[in-house]
Amino acid sequence: MALRLGDTVPDFTQASSEGEINFYEWAGDSWVVLFSHPADYTPVCTTELGTVAKLKLEFDKRGVKVIALSVDDVESHKGWIGDINETQSTTVNYPILADGDKKVSELYDMIHPNSLNSLTVRTVFIIDPHKKLRLSIAYPASTGRNFDEIIRVIDSLQLTDNHQVATPANWKDGDDCVIVHSLKDPEVLKEKFPQGYTEVKPYLRMTPQPNK
Ligand code: BEZ
């Protein structure tokens, strides 16, 4: 069955461009972005993997480790990484799983045969330090992903976990946030949101972003 938000993600051991990886050990206490792509030496994937390499500082700041996957083998990944580095002016700084036996692809339901035969589509999973699935998206093979959006979601999830706020439509870092509806006690609200809040409706309370 497909993984659902809130599920504990399955552990696995698989080969990668950086040697064999046991996923839980490799992830440790970090957040993880696990993303699949259809095949090595393909144009859209080449731009995506380069873009993710360039975002390393942003992922590091948020305590996030990144790991990619395709069903090609380690030798293919290594050759292709050379092309990514050359054409995208970067250095791939995260492992690419070599899922030739489709062990991980099947565990994480990354193959959508009615869209793309036996290859993995562009799935993205955000996994928290407790190994809970917090976001899953599947993009078509022809659409390169917006990794700024993935970082935006990580920021939103971390704000919720750390400050008990949610984020409204089209929220960007620095915009006002929504106080989660479970917080009702006025004393607690005063303590948690010293910058104050605006009650638009009893169920819609806006506050400046707490960590700014
Ligand atoms: C690409 O990465 O360019 C790609 C891969 C599979 C299907 C379509 C595009």
Confidence of residue 37 (pLDDT cuts 50, 70, 90): very high
Taking the C-alpha atoms of residue 32 and residue 127, their distance in angstroms, rounded to an integer, is 5
Q: In this structure, are 115 and 167 located in the same domain?
A: no
Catalytic position from the list 45, 49, 64, 133 = 45
Q: What is the pLDDT of residue 20?
A: 98
Residue 81 has pLDDT above 90, yes or no: yes
45 is catalytic: yes
Q: What are the pLDDT digits (tens) for 116-131?
A: 888 889 999 999 999 9
What is the mean pLDDT of the segment spanning 91-108?
97
Taking the C-alpha atoms of residue 119 and residue 20, their distance in angstroms, rounded to an integer, is 21
For residue 58, being part of any structural domain is answered with yes
Substitution candidate for ligand 1 out of 41, 45, 87 with most atoms within 8 A of CB = 45
Q: In this structure, are 184 and 109 located in the same domain?
A: no
Q: What is the pLDDT of residue 117?
A: 83
* pLDDT: which is higher, 120 or 75: 75
For residue 151, being part of any structural domain is answered with no
3-state secondary structure of 138: strand
Q: What are the pLDDT digits (tens) for 162-200?
A: 999 999 999 999 999 999 999 999 999 999 999 999 999
Residue in the block written with tokens 């589509």: 121
Q: In this structure, are 67 and 119 located in the same domain?
A: yes
Q: Terminal CA-to-CA distance of the chain, rounded, Å?
A: 40
Q: What is the CATH number of the domain that holds 39?
A: 3.40.30.10
Q: In this structure, are 135 and 167 located in the same domain?
A: no
Q: In this structure, are 117 and 85 located in the same domain?
A: yes
For residue 53, being part of any structural domain is answered with yes
Q: In this structure, are 181 and 76 located in the same domain?
A: no
How far is the centre of ligand 1, averaged over its atoms, from the C-alpha of 147 (Å)? 17
Say how many domains are in the chain.
2
Ligand 1 site residues (CB inside 6 A) read: 38-39, 42-45, 141-142
Q: In this structure, are 30 and 122 located in the same domain?
A: yes
- pTM (two decimals): 0.96
Q: In this structure, are 169 and 134 located in the same domain?
A: no
For 17-71, the DSSP string reads TTS-EEHHHHHTTSEEEEEE-S-SS-HHHHHHHHHHHHTHHHHHHTTEEEEEEES
Q: What are the pLDDT digits (tens) for 134-161?
A: 999 999 999 999 999 999 999 999 999 9
Q: Sign of the C-alpha dihedral, residues 65, 44, 89, 154?
A: negative
- The residue segments making up the domain with residue 123 are 13-144
Q: What is the CATH number of the domain that holds 190?
A: 3.30.1020.10
Please give the number of the atom of ligand 1 that sits closest to the Cα of 46. Answer: 2
Please give the number of the atom of ligand 1 that sits closest to the Cα of 144. Answer: 2
Confidence of residue 68 (pLDDT cuts 50, 70, 90): very high
Contact 149, 64 (CB under 8 A): no
Report which protein residue has its CA nearest ligand 1's atom 9. 142
Q: In this structure, are 117 and 28 located in the same domain?
A: yes
Which of 95, 110, 144 is the endpoint of a domain? Answer: 144
3-state secondary structure of 8: strand
For residue 154, being part of any structural domain is answered with no
For residue 78, being part of any structural domain is answered with yes
Q: In this structure, are 35 and 80 located in the same domain?
A: yes
How far is the centre of ligand 1, averaged over its atoms, from the C-alpha of 180 (Å)? 40
- DSSP 8-class letter at 16: B
For residue 7, being part of any structural domain is answered with no
Q: In this structure, are 130 and 177 located in the same domain?
A: no
Q: In this structure, are 61 and 88 located in the same domain?
A: yes
